[in-house]
Amino acid sequence: MAASASGSTPPPANPATADYPVRPVPFTAVRINGGFWQTRQAVNLAVTVPYAIKQCEDTGRLRNFDLAAETLRRRAAGETSFQNQPVTIYPFDDSDVYKVMEGIAYALHVKPDLALAARLEGWIARVAAAQEPDGYLYTFRTMHPDTPAHEWSDPQRWLKDPDLSHELYNLGHLYEAGVAHYQATGKRTLLDVCLRSAELLWRDFGDCKLRIAPGHQVIEMGLAKLHRVTGDPRWLALAKIFLEARGPGGPPYSQQHLPVTQQTAAVGHAVRANYMYAGMADVAALSADAAYVAAIGKIWDNVAGKKLSLTGGVGPLQHGEAYGADYELPNACYNETCAAIALMMWNNRMFLFTGDARYMDVLERTCYNGFISGVSLSGDRFFYPNPLVYDGVAQNNHGHAGRAPWFGCACCPPNLMRTLAALTGYFYAVCENSLYVNFYAQSEGTAEVGGVQVKLTQATDYPWDGRVRLTVSPEKPTAFTLRLRIPGWAQGRPVPSDLYVYTDEARPAWAVRVGGQAVTPALESGYALLTREWHDGDTVELDLPMPVHTVRGHPRIEAVRGTIAFERGPIVYAIEGAVNRTDPADLHVTARTKARAQRHPELLGDVVTLILDEIAAPEMTRQVTAIPYAVWNNRGLAPMAVWLKTEEK
């Protein structure tokens, strides 16, 4: 298929129809217009997007594409031994450019910007110029074709992908960007690059039956998106080929130890793992493969029951950036930002399969804690690992103490940027005559239920206040079931397992009113069901009380024995040494400790803090202030802890 520089090629013909039973309301149909996520999204657009663009340009990530293009040009012109050297460290640096492009595409939807759109087209032209005539795209090899430019790649294409070449990983991110750009602009400039690349994959892996297991997953989700947007069954078949190529006998690090349908626990590199589970969900949804669903269901039970940090982070081991053994959840954990993002993707897909709120409960926990912790309030400083304890000095953030301006291995910042730009895609979903409300946030959106457009307006100060006023306005009176997620935390369960429990007795009841009248809806799979004929302007008021909870970990989590943590609503709290003039490691929660919530509009971008009275400190009892975990290290370096020792041993 020929590239279209003008972007005037007609749109793909047959978008795929078979898919998840529950369909997400696209992020483009929902707009955040106040509160917590508006602040974070505004900073993302105003600061993080241009910052990530500049980093890709200044660090040479984009230049690698020009160098590859130059090699192609000069060799085609007869300089047959011409080669360029990459100007960055890793062969997967191409993927950062693709993730930033995807984020820009989403950002253009949230806020149209002609200059940004033009800049993106300029980048696309540079990427397209680096693509070899047969569709191959991987700058480190193309610019330096005679011998490997990096020890991770082989003279032959694909052969080192099961190990570390990241050729297919880069393409997975390229495909996600190409689809996002096509959907944002209607232009095929990047999609055509993707399709030329996918045609090559089909020739090599489909027709020629080369079988290798991608060393770093994400190509599966990328191919599923290509399939969705084009309706071409080959892209789905390729995704399945790549999944079926895994195991037995390969390294657990990259989930190649067993065939995917025989895997029952989360192992190895957490980003690879979670991307694979999400990819399996996509392939299962698009091809009705029950064996995949059964496998990821068991793996999910293993993660939610034994491998999830309180902050919703996963992959605690620095060595291998990996999942640990059951209950191996150290506080000085790794919990890469990308692993949190991948976990959100996977949980969203589990929800779309089942319509069960527990997956959204995990997604929410990750989102408000171990995900958004990855970017500073200023939008230009980042965490790669997201530990639950910090000593105030360690250079544990890939060589930096505290939040870093960027990384040599820069997977996390652009991943965070693209996720935040499209966050509203998690808010609502539809299945037949049911409309699911998963996120509570000041916003307005439109969902289509049974062919009828339904406008949804939320007025709320969530996550600081659990009262939500939802106005439901169908374009004509329509009967359907509104499913309001009643978070596990509002039902006395921090997580959908026994991994963490609340130790306090506070269990205030949640309540719903429709048109001002109290109702007692049935609860099904974590949703309060409101079935009626809805009329323009109908109101639903949800009240999710937010007492301060104390949390204890499962006795088998060694690191948190004899400690407790504090939560309120979906927010996990941390004690930061700077304001409290002490190392949280020296503090003890006593039987007399009382916690109360206090709103601080002027602090840390507007937060609710917890005032903890009667905390035992060396030689005295005192008051300390806990802040939301996600905003720690926005005021300089200081020790931090989520889990505090209790007086009783």
> Which one of 76, 294, 409, 479 is in contact with ligand FUB (CB under 6 A)?
409
* DSSP character string of 415-450: HHHHHHHTGGGGTEEEETTEEEE----SEEEEEEET
Minimum Å distance from CB 359 to ligand FUB? 22
Residue 321 interacts with which of ligand FUB, Zn ion, none, CB < 5 to 8 Å by class: ligand FUB
Residue 109 interacts with which of ligand FUB, Zn ion, none, CB < 5 to 8 Å by class: none
Residue 393 interacts with which of ligand FUB, Zn ion, none, CB < 5 to 8 Å by class: none
- Give whichever of 345 and 616 is closer to Zn ion, judged by the CB atom: 345
Q: How far apart are the first and last CA of the chain?
A: 69
590 φ/ψ angles, rounded to the nearest 5 degrees = -110, 175
Judged by CB under 6 A, does residue 416 bind ligand FUB?
A: no
Minimum Å distance from CB 593 to ligand FUB? 38
- CA dist 137 and 193 (Å) reads 9
- Give whichever of 411 and 546 is closer to ligand FUB, judged by the CB atom: 411
Judged by CB under 6 A, does residue 93 bind ligand FUB?
A: no
Quick note: the x/- pattern for ligand FUB over 457-496, rule CB under 6 A, is ----------------------------------------
Q: Measure the CA angle with vertex 266, ends 263 and 270; round to 5°.
A: 130
Q: CA of 458: how far to CAs of 26, 289, 489, in Å?
A: 17, 37, 20
- Give whichever of 417 and 482 is closer to ligand FUB, judged by the CB atom: 417
Residue 93 interacts with which of Zn ion, ligand FUB, none, CB < 5 to 8 Å by class: none
Judged by CB under 6 A, does residue 271 bind ligand FUB?
A: yes
Give bridge partners of residue 381 from the DSSP assignment: none
- CA dist 175 and 99 (Å) reads 10
Residue nearest to ligand FUB (CB): 271
Judged by CB under 6 A, does residue 16 bind ligand FUB?
A: no
Judged by CB under 6 A, does residue 277 bind ligand FUB?
A: no
Q: Give the per-residue SS3 of 188-257.
A: CHHHHHHHHHHHHHHHHHHHCCCCCCCCCCCHHHHHHHHHHHHCCHHHHHHHHHHHHCCCCCCCHHHCCC
> Which one of 92, 123, 152, 346 is in contact with ligand FUB (CB under 6 A)?
92
- CA dist 413 and 379 (Å) reads 10
> Which one of 16, 143, 411, 546 is in contact with ligand FUB (CB under 6 A)?
411
Minimum Å distance from CB 410 to Zn ion? 8
Residues that bind Zn ion (CB under 5 A): 336, 338, 411-412
Judged by CB under 6 A, does residue 174 bind ligand FUB?
A: no
Quick note: the x/- pattern for ligand FUB over 541-580, rule CB under 6 A, is ----------------------------------------
Contact set for ligand FUB, span 202-221 (CB under 6 A): 216
Minimum Å distance from CB 332 to ligand FUB? 18
Answer yes or no: are the C-beta atoms of 618 and 586 closer than 8 Å. yes
Judged by CB under 6 A, does residue 361 bind ligand FUB?
A: no
Sheet (strand 443-449) strand order = 30-32, 443-449, 452-460, 467-474, 538-543, 511-514, 517-519
Say how many residues touch ligand FUB, by CB under 6 A.
8
3-state secondary structure of 7: coil
368 φ/ψ angles, rounded to the nearest 5 degrees = -80, -10
Q: Nearest to residue 468, comparing CAs of 570, 603, 348, 601?
A: 570
Minimum Å distance from CB 273 to ligand FUB? 10
- Give whichever of 284 and 338 is closer to ligand FUB, judged by the CB atom: 338
Residue nearest to Zn ion (CB): 338
3-state secondary structure of 642: coil
The beta-carbon contacts of 453-461 under 8 Å, at least 24 apart in sequence, are 454/478, 454/480, 454/534, 456/30, 456/428, 460/35, 461/35
- Give whichever of 155 and 405 is closer to Zn ion, judged by the CB atom: 405
> Which one of 132, 232, 282, 336 is in contact with ligand FUB (CB under 6 A)?
336
> Which one of 102, 161, 220, 321 is in contact with ligand FUB (CB under 6 A)?
321
CB atoms within 10 A of CB 544: 26
> Which one of 338, 372, 468, 530 is in contact with ligand FUB (CB under 6 A)?
338
- Give whichever of 414 and 466 is closer to Zn ion, judged by the CB atom: 414
Look up tokens 């006593």; give the residue. Answer: 590
> What sign results for the dihedral spanned by CA atoms 577, 582, 585, 591?
negative
The tokens for 193 are 């690059």
- Give whichever of 411 and 486 is closer to Zn ion, judged by the CB atom: 411
**R_g of the chain computed on alpha carbons:** 25
Q: Is the peptide bond before 86 cis (omega within 30 degrees of 0)?
A: no
- Give whichever of 70 and 336 is closer to Zn ion, judged by the CB atom: 336
Residue 296 interacts with which of ligand FUB, Zn ion, none, CB < 5 to 8 Å by class: none
Residues at the contact surface with ligand FUB, assessed by CB under 6 A: 92, 216, 271, 321, 336, 338, 409, 411
